[in-house]
Structure 1
Amino acid sequence: MTPLSTHRRKSVGGGFDHIQLNPKLRATAVLSASALVLGAFFALGLPRAADAATIGAGSYTTTLPAGGSLPTGCGDISTNPRASLTANAPKGPVPTNDWWSSILWKKTNCGFGEPLHAHPAAYRASSGGLGISYTTTPLITGTATGVGEYKFPYTEDIRVGVSGMNAGAVMVDGWSDWTVTPSWTDGLKTLKATIGHGLPMSYYQLSGGNAQITAAGTATVWSNSGSRIGFSVRGHDYVAYAPSGGT
């Protein structure tokens, strides 16, 4: 049996004494406390076997906890998480917490979601296509003694779309670990854009009309060579490439 060994030590700069346990006994005490806590978790935290499905040594339940509620948002999103997916989207569960989640789990803007901050670019869907922002000037708000914010807000430079397109909503056509493909259609014209987190480029497929790039400010063209055009908007440089033979 390990004897209880203690000694007293004066605290630095204070009038309190500390009692230190023998290291072996202290380790035993910590282990015992941990075992008690774990025991409480196993006794109280797990659902009954009848309520849970097992996977290996783990389990999960699809029963809503007492007092819980489903997510709320636009339309029937609470019971239909695929409401903003196209028929071409991957089957099975859908992502719930990604940089592009607002165009899938729509809550405040039921047609087009919120700005998508992919870094270095940010994007925003609208009825006419996909807006692109590359904000390099931070916005600082608040006061020195109150709540303050340091952010790079979405400020649109250009919008890529199809001439004359007026879609009612943006849908999600597919995704990967880093990318997402939003999709638009108004019944006559269609647009798909593939954008990615950390990617300095975006890729577009369209039908029913001509590709159209609309600048939010004055555009200065510095290169125009057949299927390629380079231009600047608000000091930010962009290059657009059309398929071979395009103008």
Structure 2
Amino acid sequence: MLCWFPYLYISPVQAQALVVSVGEGSYSTQLPFGAVGPQKANGEAVLPKISPTFSQPVQTNDFWSSLLFPFFNNPHSNVIHAHPLNVKAVSQGLEIGHSPNHVLAASDYVYPYTPQITVGIEGMNAAQTVADAYGDWTATALWKDEGAQMRATFGHGLPFVYFNITGGEAKLDFSSSPTIWYNQDEVLGITVEGRHYGVFAP
């Protein structure tokens, strides 16, 4: 007698996949067969750098994605073109620059990254910078170093960056000696390399 027993094999990975309903649609918690997630140039998988309180869907294709994923082995970020500001997370804090003039490189118009100010905390040397939250046009980065921490919120179209610092004294470093043209009522007006900035304390 020949018997046939139909069966369904479910691999451990497949068994963990969930279909999550959202309104009239749904999504799977597992990539389709053959698909790959975020990777470095060498094919190594990368995980997002997020704070313990980060509770939003992880973005993979936004202007600030290098803050989330260390694609080029940078534990902080690559240059983030928020326009009109350019920013870059480093171990000492957030570099801020403005590049008003483009240059022609081959057949591309580019705006070279030239930071003028680094905002951080006195003595800070953070091992990494992580994503703490984001909005439609903004992202918030988080630095921690021993008992000090700093959050910086920047966004597309915003001519400012908002900082929240605890556990230490705020520190400003400049790419060259600044010209101070206003300094009173917790407001500092400075010019660095022809770019004018205002610093407003709470």
- TM-score with structure 1 length normalisation? 0.67
Count of aligned pairs: 183
User: Residue 239 and residue 57 in structure 1: after superposition, are their counterparts in 2 closer, same or farther (change >3 A)?
Assistant: closer
5+ residue gaps in structure 2? 1-16
Runs of 4+ in 1 over 6 A off after TM superposition: 54-57
Of all paired residues, the percent bearing the same amino acid is 37
Q: What's 1:88 paired with? A: 53
Q: What's 1:233 paired with? A: 192
> Is the radius of gyration larger for structure 1 or structure 2?
1
1:105 maps to 2:69: yes
Give the counterpart of 2:85 among 98, 101, 121. Answer: 121
1 CA distance for matches of 2:81 and 2:195?
17
Residues 129-163 of structure 1, C-alpha deviation per residue, up to 9 Å, x if partnerless? 00001001212122xxxxx2211021111111111
Cα drift, residue 240 of structure 1: 0.3
- TM-score with structure 2 length normalisation? 0.81
Identify the structure with bigger relative contact order (alpha carbons < 8 Å, sequence gap 6+).
Answer: 2
- 2:183 maps to a residue whose letter is N
Q: What's 1:192 paired with? A: 151
User: Residue 228 and residue 179 in structure 1: after superposition, are their counterparts in 2 closer, same or farther (change >3 A)?
Assistant: same
1 CA distance for matches of 2:56 and 2:98?
34
Q: What's 1:69 paired with? A: 36
| Structure 1 vs Structure 2 CA RMSD | 2.5
5+ residue gaps in structure 1? 1-50, 143-147
1 CA distance for matches of 2:22 and 2:163?
41
Q: What's 2:103 paired with? A: 139
1:169 maps to 2:122: no
User: Residue 212 and residue 61 in structure 1: after superposition, are their counterparts in 2 closer, same or farther (change >3 A)?
Assistant: closer
